[in-house]
Amino acid sequence: MYLIKYNHHDSYPEVLGVETLDSIRYPNAITSKRQQLGEILDKLDDQYESDEDDDFGVKLSKHRPANDLFIEWIYEIDLDRSIFHINGIPFFDLECLPDTAAFLEYVSGDHYGHTTCPPTCPPEQKYKRPVPPVVDDYEVATYQSLVCTGTEVALSDLLAISDVLSPDEHVRVSLLETIIGQCMARPDVAGIIQDLWLVPGPRQLTNDFWLTAFSMANITFLPQMFDSGVILHPAPTREEFTWVRKDIVLYVSTHLDNERCLNASLSRLINVILEQKDNAGDYFGVAFSIFHCAIVKVVKDAHSVTFSHTAALDFLPSFYADYPSTPGIAALARLGYRIDPELFVRATEIFRRPGAGGNKGHTDDGTPLAQGADNVSPTIGCPMLPPELWQEVALNLHLPDLLTFGLVSKSCRELASIVLRYPHICGYRLVTVAKEKPERMMHGYLYLRVSCFSTKRAGIPATVLVGMGSDRRGPGSRIGIDIPFCYPHTTIHVRVSAEVQPQATAKEKTLTSLEMEIK
């Protein structure tokens, strides 16, 4: 229950903020306020909630107040958790508040445009995170009973890949960094992230908490195709364990930086893999808490089961970060880049042909696109051309044509799947992270949530900015993508700008004329 008082003027930190801080600073203030609020609640019916302010501008509500056009600053004294919040963001421990000068210094903007508690705040004054939940012995029984071939294993060893990012992996990592940065820049998402730090354990994860965490982890496992109105990723339904791919299961948890909590989460992942997968092979489980992630690899054969796992890797950058990179983001991006035999089918399922209305992922006669390659002989095509030439053809197709190309034969489908491992943004295939970045991208920490790529679209090279629109007018100058983010139950729209490279302009005009003649 919230006891809310509306202040009509001078609500800035220098005035109302300091007054609110001083009101809780005197001896026994916390005990006194708890007693006062308790007496008020004792007199009220359980269902009572006042919609109108009383004569003193005070009301009771079950709903937490939120910032809006008329409410710029909110100061909250959280008596349940002994925390002083500002604009819904936890800041200080009520038992050890800063002095006025320090308070005003700490109420500052972070690198994503929010007011959050800075790392310069002393630990004794900063709000306290709940202690990790108690983990019973049975919750780690699987972890302790099976053969573990390695803990804190390097990701390159776990996935049997190089220590060094390939250019294609670099693109995937940079794109995920940008999308996470775009999520962090949203005030509503930032508030949820801060509140997640205060969740006592996985059993206390609300739907909004779970959806926020799941959305951020799941992005890298989706087919990397994003285009508003053309690509429609399905909304998830909450499950304790979600198979994001046939060989990868995701579990949202908390306190992964605590060894026993980490081992309990890995135990749960191993259990679900053993229960649901009968076939021999390599399977991966991802424990994810937004702040950290860990990957476990389970190897099943006819006679034994072994597992190994990474350490708990930092996933979310600090809100005061100078760089968008974290070990956890790189790890999930590289895991998501692994070959997916179902990629082509999954891509056709989310593709909506322009002008087809709600008939997404289907041909003109209503047949699902994904069925096409299954019903065609693998020998159909032009056997006189080597695969390298067919791959070059695939690399130079528009995305809709690429999906159609994959329906010609199973060999074409395999080639299309190779191309689909590249991210596609508004039809542009991201080829490399651009070496030269526009100057405006480097201002005000925008680079934490904006990235620049060298791309191709139907063979035409272009430079694409993800996370920043263009002030220029013209085709492709103002486009965008919708990120399937499920809090607050809507997508997150990300601006995109594309500029065809000057040397490609003549080629583009020639191809456009040719296309018109063919039509």
Whether residue 130 is contained in a domain is answered as no
Sheet holding 75-78, edge to edge: 75-78, 83-86, 89-93
- CA 113 to mean position of chain CA atoms: 18
Same domain? 375 vs 248: no
The domain boundary, picked from 320, 336, 352, lies at: 336
Burial of 104 (0-12, 13-18, 19+ CB in 10 A): middle
Residue 316 and residue 363 in one domain? no
Residue 34 belongs to what H/E stretch?
Answer: helix 29-42
- Residue 125 belongs to some domain of the structure: no
103 and 159 part of one domain:
no
Same domain, 360 and 438: yes
End-to-end CA distance of the chain: 65
Query: Are 347 and 425 found together in one domain?
Result: yes
Q: Are residues 173 and 319 in the same domain?
A: yes
pLDDT recorded at residue 516 = 31
The answer to whether residues 349 and 482 belong to one domain is: yes
Last residue of a domain, one of 308, 336, 364: 336
112 lies in a domain? yes
Q: What does the pLDDT profile of the chain (519 residues) look like in tens digits?
A: 888 988 888 899 999 999 999 999 888 899 998 888 888 877 776 555 555 555 456 788 888 998 888 899 999 999 999 999 999 999 999 999 999 999 999 999 999 999 999 999 999 999 999 999 999 999 999 999 999 999 999 999 999 999 999 999 999 999 999 999 999 999 999 999 999 999 999 999 999 999 999 999 999 999 999 998 899 998 888 999 999 999 999 999 999 999 999 999 999 999 999 998 888 999 999 999 999 999 999 999 988 999 999 999 999 999 999 999 999 999 999 999 999 999 999 999 999 876 555 444 555 544 555 555 455 555 555 556 788 888 999 999 999 999 999 999 999 999 999 999 999 999 999 999 999 889 989 888 999 999 999 999 999 999 999 999 876 655 555 688 988 876 555 678 999 999 987 765 555 444 433 333 333
Q: Are residues 326 and 347 in the same domain?
A: no
Is 45 within a domain? Answer: yes
Q: Which domain holds residue 180?
A: 137-336
- The answer to the question of residue 67 being in a domain is yes
> Residue 251: inside a domain, yes or no?
yes
* pLDDT, position 471: 61
Q: Is the domain of 104 the same as that of 198? A: no
Within a domain: 121: no
Q: Tokens 């354990």 — which residue?
A: 201
Report d(CA 91, CA 106) in Å as an integer.
9
User: Does 332 share its domain with 349?
Assistant: no
Query: How many domains does one find in the chain?
Result: 3
> Among residues 336, 368, 389, which one ends one of the domains?
336
Q: What is the pLDDT of residue 88?
A: 94
Diameter of the chain measured on Cα atoms? 88
Tell me: do 246 and 277 sit in the same domain: yes
User: Hey, how many other C-beta atoms are within 10 angstroms of the C-beta on 281?
Assistant: 11
pLDDT at 513: 33
- 131: in domain: no
Q: What is the pTM of this model?
A: 0.90
**Is residue 367 domain-shared with residue 459, that is, in the same domain?**
yes
Whose structure tokens read 């002030």? 471
pLDDT at 200: 96
Question: What CA–CA distance (Å, rounded) separates 495 from 229?
Answer: 14
Could you please report the per-residue DSSP string of 416-474? HHHHHTS-EETTEEEEEE-SS--GGGGGGGGGGT-EEEEEEETTEEEEEEES---SS-S
